Amino acid sequence: MMSRRLVLMLAMCAAILACGALANYLLNPYGVWQSRLVDPIFRKPKDEHVALPYLVQTATAHTLLVGSSRVAFGMRIDELEGVGVLNAGIRAATIPQSCAIVHTALQNDHFKLIIWGVDFFAFNETWKDQDREFERRLAGGLGSWLEDTLLSLSALDDGWADMKRAMRGRAKLPVTATRTAPWPPDLICNDFEATRHLGLIATPASEVKRQLSDDVPGYLQYHLSNAFLDLFRQTVERARSQGVQVILFVPPMSEYELELVRQSGQWRTFQNWKRALAAIGPLWDFSGYNQVAASDQFFMHIMHCKTAVGETILRLLTGESLPPCFTMSKVVADSAIRIDRSNVDQALALQDQMRASARTDRRYVELAAAALVYQHERMVRNRLLHATEPAR
């Protein structure tokens, strides 16, 4: 009797697993299987750290976007892979993670262009938190695919959410989910107008200080990593040696963040980092004390420019016409400086001059200073706490 019960229980467990695996196969939330039950346009993965490693391996897109949340949010593609473009930006991306994404993408013959948003903070030698699960997924293998795409409750949750969106139909999707990447000019202008009075421009000083203190990576103990620079250079050179075009750009930074860099005593390091990037290859630099940095209306948060701004940058990088909302697009275009080996000294001298002559609003200076005091006090408290912890 007991043995029969055990057999029935095991059979029931196997049946449940089989049903779950079949549902995940049919819903196919990460696009790794042949099932087309749900149109990919309805995909919206909750965690790009799970979905991206598989999409990078299976995508048919010709363009790969790489970088941190500045790329993920600023050049947003809700379903991650749009028409011809895969957004592989991830939150809090490290240089090893971004390079691993590119190395995996280079095994996919579809990719012909990589647009890489490069962040100063990511080259800090302490910015290297490892994500073993992310690395495992990028490495691939049948076991990883089975576990994450067929036998996962998270995949089932993502797939069911996709199915519900599909049942509501395309008419219920936001217009941003049904347009190509980069966005067409009219969508960019409409989006910018709709968000003109939202985001950083409407953020109270207390919240700005919190974002500066908690969300912006610390620059007080910044040390430029030569190892990360070498890894980045090797990755770019490998891509180019395989015939893949690589466009590098430094995303816009708000004047709040620039003040953190300056007041932390890292401005010279910041410029030397750009000099090192120029030695690797030409880049478009949108950072510095320009009109974008000094205009809060261009940012949703301290760290993130608005999507309309990011999409304008993407159109500029790919050689497409700029949107007809000329005030915004002209400011973005005018903020771009193309830097290479031949003009790096002049370009950085110009940026030094812009910093020195900037009529910096006192709120940028004062809130950045207050955030640095808070960060310094927190570092001291942590040191004292570790110093007083009993030895184990």
Is pLDDT of 391 > 70?
no
Mean pLDDT of 278-292: 95
Q: What percent of the chain has pLDDT over 70?
A: 96
Mean pLDDT of 96-108: 95
Which tens digit of pLDDT belongs to each residue from 132-178? 888 888 887 777 778 888 888 888 899 899 899 989 988 888 887 77
More confident residue, 147 or 224: 224
Give the pair of three-digit tokens for residue 305.
Answer: 């420019």
Is pLDDT of 72 > 50?
yes
Q: What is the pLDDT of residue 174?
A: 84
Strand order in the sheet with 337-339: 85-89, 63-67, 113-117, 245-250, 283-285, 337-339
What residue type is assigned to position 227 of the chain?
A: A
Q: What is the dihedral of CA 211, 215, 219, 223, to 10 degrees?
A: -170
The 3-class SS string of the chain reads CHHHHHHHHHHHHHHHHHHHHHHHHHHCCCCCCCCCCCCHHHCCCCCHHHHHHHHHHHCCCCEEEEECHHHHHHCCCCCCECCCEEEEECCCCCHHHHHHHHHHHCCCCCCCEEEEECCCHHHECCCCCCCHHHHHHHHCCHHHHHHHHHCCHHHHHHHHHHHHHHHHCHHHCCHHHCCCCCCCHHHHHHHHHHCCCCHHHHCCHHHHHHHHHHHCCCCCCCCECHHHHHHHHHHHHHHHHCCCEEEEEECCCCHHHHHHHHHCCCHHHHHHHHHHHHHHCCEEECCCCCCCCCCHHHECCCCCECHHHHHHHHHHHCCCCCCCCHHHHHHHHHHCEEECCCCHHHHHHHHHHHHHHCCCCHHHHHHHHHHHHHHHHHHHHHHHHHHHCCCC
Please state, rounded to an integer, the average pLDDT across all residues of the chain.
89
More confident residue, 222 or 386: 222
Identify the band that residue 372 occupies on the pLDDT scale cut at 50, 70 and 90: confident
Which tens digit of pLDDT belongs to each residue from 186-211? 999 999 999 999 999 999 999 998 99
| Residue showing tokens 């909302």 | 325
Mean pLDDT of 41-57: 87
Domain-embedded: residue 190: yes
Mean pLDDT of 328-334: 94
Question: Best-predicted range by mean pLDDT among 26-30, 177-181, 240-244?
Answer: 240-244
Identify the band that residue 16 occupies on the pLDDT scale cut at 50, 70 and 90: confident
Is residue 74 within 8 Å of residue 305, measured between CB atoms?
A: yes
Mean pLDDT of 297-318: 96
Measured distance CA(287)–CA(293) in Å, rounded: 7
Q: What is the pLDDT of residue 64?
A: 97
Q: What is the pLDDT of residue 35?
A: 85
Identify the band that residue 3 occupies on the pLDDT scale cut at 50, 70 and 90: confident
CA angle 212, 213, 216 (to 5 degrees): 55
Range of the domain at 186: 14-202+226-253+276-342
Domain-embedded: residue 218: no
Number of domains in the chain: 1
Domain-embedded: residue 88: yes
Identify the band that residue 389 occupies on the pLDDT scale cut at 50, 70 and 90: low
What residue type is assigned to position 214 of the chain?
A: D
Is pLDDT of 240 > 50?
yes
Is pLDDT of 392 > 50?
no
Domain-embedded: residue 76: yes
Mean pLDDT of 228-245: 97
Measured distance CA(72)–CA(371) in Å, rounded: 26
Mean pLDDT of 93-121: 96
Is pLDDT of 390 > 60?
no
Domain-embedded: residue 233: yes
Q: What is the pLDDT of residue 127?
A: 92
Is pLDDT of 383 > 90?
no
Which tens digit of pLDDT belongs to each residue from 336-366? 999 999 999 999 999 999 998 876 678 898 9
Mean pLDDT of 219-234: 95
Which residues fall within 8 angstroms of residue 309, CB to CB, at 6 or more apart? 74, 192, 252, 292, 298, 299, 328, 332
Give the pair of three-digit tokens for residue 327.
Answer: 């005030």
Domain-embedded: residue 308: yes
Domain-embedded: residue 122: yes
Measured distance CA(261)–CA(120) in Å, rounded: 10
Domain-embedded: residue 188: yes
Q: What percent of the chain has pLDDT over 90?
A: 56
